[in-house]
Amino acid sequence: MRTGDLGRFDEDGHLWFMGRKKDIIVCAGSNVSPMEVESILLTHPSVGEACVYGVTEIDGIEQVLACVTAQSNTEQATEEELKEFAREHLAEYMVPCRIPYIDEVPRKGAGKVDRERLRLREETGMADL
């Protein structure tokens, strides 16, 4: 049965959920798991929530983007500081090209993060989507 879920086994034989196949970002021929990038961004002390998604640019290449919310009661890191933090923990092709702060991460009816809405906002430039 095909579920669309992606996973990997570690050296101890444990299965790790890596995300959904439809969410995978293909950047410069490499597959990027949004969940893997999000898990790194979430370890930064100034990040409350993170959402990573792909946007196809005019040249047809998909770029990795992220939106984050600020962690309350902490000093907000700059976008460059967040990118540098990501570079320290991820391969270069996985580092988001933009990491803006947003007030809240959009959610679908079931409470799941709405990556598609963020993707449409980016592609159309319409913040009220």
Q: What is the pLDDT of residues 45-99, one digit of tens each?
A: 999 999 999 988 777 778 999 999 999 888 999 999 999 999 999 999 999 999 9
Q: Check pLDDT > 60 for residue 5.
A: no
Superfamily in which the 34-122 domain is placed by CATH: ANL, C-terminal domain (3.30.300.30)
Average pLDDT of the chain to the nearest whole number: 84
Q: How far apart are CA 28 and CA 80, in angstroms?
A: 22
Greater confidence (6 vs 49) lies with 49
Instruction: Say if CB 8 and CB 15 are below 8 A apart.
Output: yes
Q: What is the mean pLDDT of residues 35-47?
A: 95
Confidence at residue 124, expressed as pLDDT on a 0 to 100 scale:
81
Q: What is the pLDDT of residue 24?
A: 82
∠ CA(105), CA(110), CA(112), 5° rounding?
35
pTM above 0.85, yes or no: no
Position 40 scores a pLDDT of 97
Domains of the chain, residue spans: 34-122
What pLDDT, on a 0 to 100 scale, did the predictor assign at position 110? 86
Is 63:54 a contact under the CB 8 Å cutoff? yes
Contacts of 76 (CB under 8 A, 6+ apart): 46, 70, 101
* Residue with the larger pLDDT of the pair 115 and 49: 49
* pLDDT in the model for residue 58: 72
Looking from the CA of 117 toward its CB, the CA atoms found within 13 Å total 14
